[in-house]
A and B are shown apart, each in its own frame.
Chain A
């Protein structure tokens, strides 16, 4: 391995982190292009939302550089990796937030995709008069539009921030031990390759049939979100364990002592997605939330997440078909009218 000028762990980490961020950004952009940039599209809304995505990306990048720079400064002056002492808590929090946001945005994307044709009609119609359609659809329009307003910013922002900080901290950590000239090249190459993959995704996504693209890409991001949720719980448990053994469990590698035997569901002394850049297992972790050392928390949370998503989509569908929430009576007509009016007013402000 020519790791004098090209540190493979650094490349893999930068590629992996930029890939995760780029997946989210390019899916969003492709979706927007499909939905709003066609002949029937709303160029103004398109431009506005695309700007939001890039704004979120840029701001996330900026802040993660600032934070990363501050951490490196602390590294050099104090010589203590304070980040590492509670890094699991930070990582857990980020993963949790990202997972929650992705979950809701994913559902919104699917719904918007299904209703694309009617969306414009409803929006236009609602501006003329209150709609006499069933309540829940209108209420969902309001929710959709609310999410639309901020999700396009929030999702790329949080994702880029999280991935960027992880990448910077890891590269900084490695660069203290590896020869300095082995770091810049893989960073640049990793970024370029990641962006290239993202661009291909965007191109592919923009030209496929919207529904297929949406479903496939949403399935992918739900897998990612399930993994993130499980990782968040795992990270909190890993932090508790690190504190219990009075130091950084990661320093022990992946052998005995790096995990709590009483809390372990499975542990293999290999295939760690974290050590030495993680290699191929790192991709498994990014997409499926794979860990070589699973805890009760991480396994249960993974399953709980999926069960919640399944139940959520089942009840959404039930709503759509039956016109009411499961186990609830249909709303009164007057209430429905109020909701539609509110939706109409909000719609005109978008």
Chain B
């Protein structure tokens, strides 16, 4: 993919060669989103968000080239919702991407909304709510795109899908106000109550000796990264986040929230024993470790259903998972050239004037605009290329079509963050170790970047370290870049990329049911981030985060101090006067 012409030629050839063999289908899903009750860890029943009366929600499956239609009816009654199809490029259909107030209005209770898009990429993905921190309440599930041209198709006999996640006993609308509050000034994220494998703790996977299985593993959790390993078996990684890789041997992998990995596991030849499949939550970011918390979950590869299910072995020392930076993409895409635009984002956590802890990129904490960013891009004419119209707090960057964009993310926080970019895979050209400081200070030269960098859509940034990403802006649309720890999404660790807005104005047609959701919710659909259609550069009235904490003495404080001093002096004077007054 060195030049646009080569790109087009290859595409044409691919298209022509695929015609006799494949036949693009349309896959339709009707989703009625409503509340059901579930108790996946056996500890407590709780309301969860299900689809068509079922939870866990069903898998979406399609082939490369298929058109997928999802008709959503929101029967939740008390919450709005939306669906994001994580990892899909949505090329030409950015309005189907899903984040509320970015590419659409939230689907109100009772509302209907149709997602209609074509998938041109194979791999392991997932879909989840992208409204108000809702998905940890259950609205998340796998999305698998099968590839008739799969280069590894001869290496395995069967495919299995495995989801791992953390699990809370409380609902997000109850946890969020406690998280973003003055009584949580350090921004401690709520600690999950359990870990789940395939939304349960009793997972058994029947395997036959000698067969090789392709496991597609997805971390659909809200917060916790997971260490994953199979006792007695090792793994051969073939794909991460939808990017085929050179096969790589691993004993243990680490998946942050939202990451995926597909690997081969070959079943052993003898059937005398069963083997634990382990997922262990990364507790580094947990504020406390409650005594009754079990941060591991065990499933089993079952060779013999009569044999016992053994307890997992406790590992000594620290985890040593496979480093995904060592993966080499199968297609050998070389390092993108000198960037046309370099964007540096520093990750900072700080407190604002309401006493709560917020997350910042540089000095901006994300706050939703009044008009969804995509609709601003569509209705602001020539000014759509001026980032001012998107408001200060959507932290928007305008990208020109075809530009090579370099994103340098410096972590000024002692926590790990998994960063995700909508609409693209990015090349991870450099990732530092822990405590390496900023990229600018580390003195790393571009000559040290790998020639064929690892590609994925969600990458872990280490504490006080940095990461450099490159991608080509070849997908007109409005794409979010954010930490995929759902708590940090809510506290503002997000930026927006507005890619080729003038092209969008020419080509994008938003169907009326999208605008109907806006009308039902009273959300304006035209103008800048403040809803101003007359003076597009006037952002008065835009949504803003709380003001900063007072830096020292405010007027109120000075008045109080001065008054107290005066009254103290007066008081002392009165005491002295009394003491010296002549006796009666």
Q: Does B325 contact A (CB under 8 A)?
A: no
Residue of B nearest to A137 (CB): B584
* Residue with the greatest number of chain A CB neighbours at <10 A, chosen from B350, B355, B357: B355
The 6 closest A-B pairs by CB, nearest first: A257-B185, A266-B557, A256-B351, A215-B579, A261-B355, A306-B571
Supposing A110-B579, A268-B553 touch, asked if A257 and B560 sit within 8 A by C-beta, the answer is no
Q: Does A118 contact B (CB under 8 A)?
A: yes
Query: How would residues 548 to 574 of chain B score, 1 for a CB under 8 Å from any chain A CB and 0 otherwise?
Result: 011011101110110110011011101
Whether A219 pairs with B185 at a CB distance below 8 angstroms is no
Residue of A nearest to B184 (CB): A245
Query: How would residues 253 to 264 of chain A score, 1 for a CB under 8 Å from any chain B CB and 0 otherwise?
Result: 001111011100
Give A100 to B182 CA distance when docked, in angstroms: 34
Query: How would residues 289 to 325 of chain A score, 1 for a CB under 8 Å from any chain B CB and 0 otherwise?
Result: 0000010000100110011011001101100110000
Give A106 to B572 CA distance when docked, in angstroms: 12
Give A113 to B355 CA distance when docked, in angstroms: 51
Give A258 to B182 CA distance when docked, in angstroms: 10
Q: Does B575 contact A (CB under 8 A)?
A: yes
B residues 215-241 near A (Cβ < 8 Å) are none
Residue of A nearest to B351 (CB): A256
List A residues at the B interface (Cβ < 8 Å). Answer: 106, 110, 113-115, 118, 137, 211, 214-215, 218-219, 222-223, 226, 244-246, 252, 255-258, 260-262, 265-269, 288, 294, 299, 302-303, 306-307, 309-310, 313-314, 316-317, 320-321
Give A306 to B184 CA distance when docked, in angstroms: 36
Give A211 to B575 CA distance when docked, in angstroms: 12
Whether A219 pairs with B557 at a CB distance below 8 angstroms is no
Whether B553 pairs with A113 at a CB distance below 8 angstroms is no
Q: Does B578 contact A (CB under 8 A)?
A: yes
Supposing A262-B182, A262-B355, A268-B552 touch, asked if A316 and B561 sit within 8 A by C-beta, the answer is no
Q: Give 27 A-B contacts (CB < 8 Å), ordered by A residue.
A: A115-B583, A211-B580, A214-B579, A215-B575, A215-B576, A223-B572, A252-B185, A255-B351, A256-B185, A256-B350, A256-B351, A257-B186, A257-B355, A257-B357, A258-B185, A260-B182, A266-B554, A267-B550, A288-B568, A303-B564, A306-B570, A307-B567, A310-B570, A310-B571, A313-B577, A320-B583, A320-B584
Give A120 to B101 CA distance when docked, in angstroms: 86
Specify which chain B residues have a CB less than 8 angstroms from the CB of A314 in the assembled complex.
574
Whether A110 pairs with B556 at a CB distance below 8 angstroms is no
Give A307 to B563 CA distance when docked, in angstroms: 12
Q: Give the contacting residue for B564; candidates A261, A269, A299; CB below 8 A.
A: A299
Residue of B nearest to A106 (CB): B575
Whether B580 pairs with A222 at a CB distance below 8 angstroms is no
Q: Give the contacting residue for A222; candidates B550, B567, B572; CB below 8 A.
A: B572
Whether B567 pairs with A246 at a CB distance below 8 angstroms is no
Specify which chain A residues have a CB less than 8 angstroms from the CB of B580 in the assembled complex.
211, 215
Specify which chain A residues have a CB less than 8 angstroms from the CB of B549 in the assembled complex.
256, 261
Residue of A nearest to B350 (CB): A256
Residue of A nearest to B556 (CB): A265
Specify which chain B residues have a CB less than 8 angstroms from the CB of A313 in the assembled complex.
574-575, 577-578
A263 to chain B minimum Cβ distance, whole angstroms, is 10
Whether A110 pairs with B575 at a CB distance below 8 angstroms is yes
Give A24 to B584 CA distance when docked, in angstroms: 28
Specify which chain B residues have a CB less than 8 angstroms from the CB of A302 in the assembled complex.
564, 567-568
Give A211 to B576 CA distance when docked, in angstroms: 10
Residue of B nearest to A321 (CB): B584
Supposing A256-B549, A321-B584 touch, asked if A316 and B567 sit within 8 A by C-beta, the answer is no
Whether B568 pairs with A299 at a CB distance below 8 angstroms is no
Supposing A252-B186, A261-B549, A314-B574 touch, asked if A223 and B583 sit within 8 A by C-beta, the answer is no
Whether A114 pairs with B579 at a CB distance below 8 angstroms is yes
Q: Does B581 contact A (CB under 8 A)?
A: yes
B424 to chain A minimum Cβ distance, whole angstroms, is 36
A141 to chain B minimum Cβ distance, whole angstroms, is 13
Q: Does B30 contact A (CB under 8 A)?
A: no
Specify which chain B residues have a CB less than 8 angstroms from the CB of A265 in the assembled complex.
556-557, 560
A304 to chain B minimum Cβ distance, whole angstroms, is 10
Give A36 to B558 CA distance when docked, in angstroms: 46
Q: Give the contacting residue for B568; candidates A114, A223, A316; CB below 8 A.
A: A223
Give A222 to B570 CA distance when docked, in angstroms: 12
* Residue with the greatest number of chain B CB neighbours at <10 A, chosen from A226, A269, A310: A310
Specify which chain A residues have a CB less than 8 angstroms from the CB of B353 in the assembled complex.
261
Give A51 to B567 CA distance when docked, in angstroms: 37
Specify which chain B residues have a CB less than 8 angstroms from the CB of A246 in the assembled complex.
183
Query: How would residues 329 to 370 of chain B score, 1 for a CB under 8 Å from any chain A CB and 0 otherwise?
Result: 000000000000000000000110111010000000000000
Specify which chain A residues have a CB less than 8 angstroms from the CB of B561 in the assembled complex.
266, 294
Residue of B nearest to A245 (CB): B183
Specify which chain A residues have a CB less than 8 angstroms from the CB of B350 in the assembled complex.
256
Give A110 to B550 CA distance when docked, in angstroms: 44
Specify which chain A residues have a CB less than 8 angstroms from the CB of B183 in the assembled complex.
244-246
A277 to chain B minimum Cβ distance, whole angstroms, is 23
Specify which chain A residues have a CB less than 8 angstroms from the CB of B186 in the assembled complex.
252, 257
Supposing A257-B351, A261-B355, A309-B571 touch, asked if A316 and B552 sit within 8 A by C-beta, the answer is no
Whether A226 pairs with B568 at a CB distance below 8 angstroms is yes
Residue of A nearest to B584 (CB): A320
Specify which chain B residues have a CB less than 8 angstroms from the CB of A219 in the assembled complex.
572, 575-576, 579
Give A17 to B568 CA distance when docked, in angstroms: 23
Query: How would residues 144 to 160 of chain B score, 1 for a CB under 8 Å from any chain A CB and 0 otherwise?
Result: 00000000000000000
Whether A309 pairs with B355 at a CB distance below 8 angstroms is no
Specify which chain B residues have a CB less than 8 angstroms from the CB of A317 in the assembled complex.
578, 581
A298 to chain B minimum Cβ distance, whole angstroms, is 9
Specify which chain B residues have a CB less than 8 angstroms from the CB of A245 in the assembled complex.
183-185
Specify which chain A residues have a CB less than 8 angstroms from the CB of B556 in the assembled complex.
265-266
B residues 500-532 near A (Cβ < 8 Å) are none
Specify which chain B residues have a CB less than 8 angstroms from the CB of A288 in the assembled complex.
568
B561 to chain A minimum Cβ distance, whole angstroms, is 7
B residues 183-209 near A (Cβ < 8 Å) are 183-186
Give A154 to B527 CA distance when docked, in angstroms: 74
Specify which chain B residues have a CB less than 8 angstroms from the CB of A294 in the assembled complex.
557, 560-561
Q: Give the contacting residue for B571; candidates A118, A222, A262; CB below 8 A.
A: A222
Give A266 to B560 CA distance when docked, in angstroms: 8
Specify which chain A residues have a CB less than 8 angstroms from the CB of B575 in the assembled complex.
106, 110, 215, 218-219, 222, 309, 313
Give A56 to B481 CA distance when docked, in angstroms: 69
B residues 221-271 near A (Cβ < 8 Å) are none
Residue of A nearest to B550 (CB): A267
Residue of B nearest to A134 (CB): B584
Whether A310 pairs with B579 at a CB distance below 8 angstroms is no
* 19 new A-B contacts at CB < 8 Å, known A261-B355, A269-B552: A110-B578, A110-B579, A114-B581, A137-B584, A222-B571, A222-B572, A245-B185, A256-B185, A256-B357, A257-B355, A266-B554, A268-B553, A294-B557, A303-B564, A307-B567, A309-B574, A310-B574, A313-B578, A317-B581
A220 to chain B minimum Cβ distance, whole angstroms, is 9
Specify which chain B residues have a CB less than 8 angstroms from the CB of A115 in the assembled complex.
583
Give A214 to B579 CA distance when docked, in angstroms: 8
B5 to chain A minimum Cβ distance, whole angstroms, is 55
Give A268 to B560 CA distance when docked, in angstroms: 14
Residue of B nearest to A249 (CB): B185
A268 to chain B minimum Cβ distance, whole angstroms, is 5
Whether B571 pairs with A299 at a CB distance below 8 angstroms is no
Specify which chain B residues have a CB less than 8 angstroms from the CB of A321 in the assembled complex.
584
Give A268 to B557 CA distance when docked, in angstroms: 10
Residue of B nearest to A258 (CB): B185
